[in-house]
Structure formats: structure tokens, C-alpha cells
Amino acid sequence: MLAALALSSCVKENDSYKDWLPVQPGQYIYTYVMTQDRVAMQAANAGMRVAVMAAEVAKQRAAGEDEVTIGTVKYNNQLLLSALFNSGTKIEETDDGYMLTFSKDYLMPDGFHLEGSLLVRTGGAAELANGAEWRVEMQPDFKLYSDSAYGSVQSQVNMYGGTTTLTDNQDGSYTIRLSGIAAEVDGSHIGSSNWSTSDEGFVLRPEDEKVTLAYSSCHGETFRINGSASGLSIYANMSGSRPLSMSYTVTDGLFVGLRIIGGTQECEFTSTSDYDTTGYPAPDVRVEWTNGQSRIFYNGNVYPKE
């Protein structure tokens, strides 16, 4: 099973294990849904990192660094391509925009391995600015891998496509929209996922209105994210006959990089015929974050208690 974003860290040694057990199914729901969303967001996250690099290039060129490029731009002597992706990632400017190429031998910041290529189609806009809209397109060789907790075994996820767009809203915010993101765990034979945001997408904006997308400005800063996504997932339903359907909503989520420190996340199994209702007495879980600490609300239970 792909593993990510479990809330095991919130089970404190000084709290009763018995108090945690009633919310355990909710923790599993959270882990499944968040992993599904992270897989579907791979192209979007890569595109936003390229937007950060492109904004830094423009900032440095405006300061007189005429020779800097998307592949050579640095901050504090660190190559941004390595900082935002890894040392095995390559980027080149093309007539269509930016082409990213990944090596599965290198770990990404979010804990996955990527292989193959993504094309960030910019429509002639070198920056995600002035109302620009970018499309991030999975190339036929694009795949994702997740390390197992049991050693060298990896789960392979075949990424088949879908539509990912990034939009500058010209008010300091940016919108990520996904439509029909299709992926399948290699060898699962249940059919591919079909994951989409709502029409509004995920809207993100820096908490400090003076912060821009340039890396030297936004690194370490807090961004607020609101939005939702839903659809068929990469996981099988309880009978193994079709993908498990899910939904995810984040409300006033405060993120520093990949880490959530505030706001509310809601995760749900959306079809009662998809899961075992004895193992999951409620289909939905709410997780509230304050100063980086989480509280789980599931089926009338709360953990940790006040």
C-alpha cells in the first residue's frame, strides 16, 4: 500500500491508546485520501515549483543578472532546481515552455520518486504572472514510485494523464485546477483513477501580501489554501472490483512548503458500497490543525481530547 501523511505522530505517549482507537478508522481514511490527492497533484506541484524558479529568474534579471536561466538560477549559492526537485532532475526551455525530466533514483521532497517527463506549457508567458495560465502535461513515460516501509520494494503508479492548469488571478492569488487525473497502481487491474477539483479549484495566496512567487521572497513563507477535489482513486473498493471513490476539502489551510500548520482538512469515502461499514462506522473524518498540531474528529470522537 502507498503510505503517506499518516497522523501517527499525533498519538502522544502521555495519551491513552484507548482514547485513540475510536478515531483510528478516520486516520486511515485521512491517509488514503491525502495520498490520492498528492498523487493527482504531482503535475500541479511541479508546475508551481517551476513558476517559483521562473519568478526568481525574472527578479534576478531585473537586478542585472542577464545570464541567469531557469536551469542555472541559484539562491544563496544553491541551485534552485536541486532545492525544489532534486539533483537528478533536468529542465530545459522549449518552444512550448519548460520540459522537466526526472530520474527515479532520486527522492523528491514529498517522499515520492518520479520518472519520465512533464511539459509545462506556458502559452508564451515565461512567468506565471499578469493573468497567465499554464498547462502541465504528463508525457507518456511519466510514472511515480513510492518506497515501501519494508525495504527496497517500490509501488509503481502509472500516470496516464488528465488536465492540470495553473492560473495567476492578478490579485496575489493562484488557482490550481485538475480535471480527470488518471493514474493506476501497476498490476492492480481495477481501472484508473479519475480525480478532479471543483470548478473553483485550489486557490492559494501568501499570507503576507508583499510575498511574490520568486524563491527569495516566498521560501519559508506561509500560504493559505482553499479548495476541494473528488473522484475515483488509485485504491480498490472492498470487493476489488473498481476504484474507491473519495473527496477532499481544505478550508483555510496554512502551509509552509509541504507542511500544514493550520486550517481544516475533510476527507471522505463517498460511496457506501465501496467500503466495509463495520470497519468504517462513519465515511468521513475532519482534521483540524493549530500551530502544526492536529486534532482528529471522527464518528463523534475526538483525539486528542482537550
Compute the half-sphere exposure of residue 188: CA atoms within 13 Å on the CB side of its CA. Answer: 25
Query: How many Å apart are CA 65 and CA 91, to the nearest integer?
Result: 20
Nearest alpha carbon to residue 135 among 124, 119, 116: 119
Query: How many Å apart are CA 282 and CA 300, to the nearest integer?
Result: 9
Which helix (H) or strand (E) segment is 146 a member of?
A: strand 143-147
What pLDDT is recorded for position 12?
54
pLDDT class of 149 with cuts at 50, 70, 90: low
**79: burial class by Cβ within 10 Å (0-12, 13-18, 19+)?**
middle
pLDDT class of 13 with cuts at 50, 70, 90: low
What pLDDT is recorded for position 15?
57
pLDDT class of 40 with cuts at 50, 70, 90: very high
What pLDDT is recorded for position 284?
98
Nearest alpha carbon to residue 88 among 54, 119, 116: 116
What pLDDT is recorded for position 17?
87
Report helix, strand or coil for 280.
coil
Q: What is the average pLDDT value for the chain, to the nearest integer? A: 94
Decide if pLDDT at 6 tops 60: no
Reported as a single tens digit per residue, the pLDDT across 232-284 is 999 999 999 999 999 999 999 999 999 999 999 999 999 989 999 999 999 99
Query: How many Å apart are CA 270 and CA 235, to the nearest integer?
Result: 13
CB 83 within 8 A of CB 67: no
Reported as a single tens digit per residue, the pLDDT across 191-230 is 999 999 999 999 999 999 999 999 999 999 999 999 999 9
Query: How many Å apart are CA 224 and CA 110, to the nearest integer?
Result: 19
Decide if pLDDT at 1 tops 90: no
Reported as a single tens digit per residue, the pLDDT across 80-116 is 999 999 999 999 999 999 999 999 999 999 999 999 9
pTM of the model: 0.93
Reported as a single tens digit per residue, the pLDDT across 166-194 is 999 999 999 999 999 999 999 998 999 99
CB 135 within 8 A of CB 165: yes
Decide if pLDDT at 148 tops 80: no
3-state SS string for 251-274: EEEEEECCEEEEEEEEEEECCCCC
Report helix, strand or coil for 177.
strand
Query: How many Å apart are CA 284 and CA 77, to the nearest integer?
Result: 46
Q: How far is CA 1 from CA 31, 159, 192, in A?
A: 11, 17, 16
The per-residue b/e assignment along 85-118, b for 16 or more CB within 10 angstroms, e otherwise, is bbebbebeeeeebbbbbbebeeebeeebbbbbbb
Query: How many Å apart are CA 162 and CA 179, to the nearest integer?
Result: 6
CB 72 within 8 A of CB 54: no
pLDDT class of 2 with cuts at 50, 70, 90: very low
Which helix (H) or strand (E) segment is 175 a member of?
A: strand 174-185
Query: How many Å apart are CA 241 and CA 274, to the nearest integer?
Result: 9
Question: Span 58-82, mean pLDDT?
Answer: 97
Pull the grid cell for residue 286. Answer: 475532519
Question: Span 45-63, mean pLDDT?
Answer: 98
pLDDT class of 16 with cuts at 50, 70, 90: confident
Q: Dihedrals φ, ψ of 293, to 5°?
A: -105, 140
- Residue ranges covered by each domain of the chain: 8-303
Cα dihedral across residues 49, 52, 58, 63: positive or negative: negative
Pull the grid cell for residue 214. Answer: 520568486
* Residues contacting 87, CB < 8 A, separation 6+: 106
Decide if pLDDT at 4 tops 50: no
- The DSSP symbol for 107 reads B
Reported as a single tens digit per residue, the pLDDT across 117-134 is 999 999 999 999 999 999
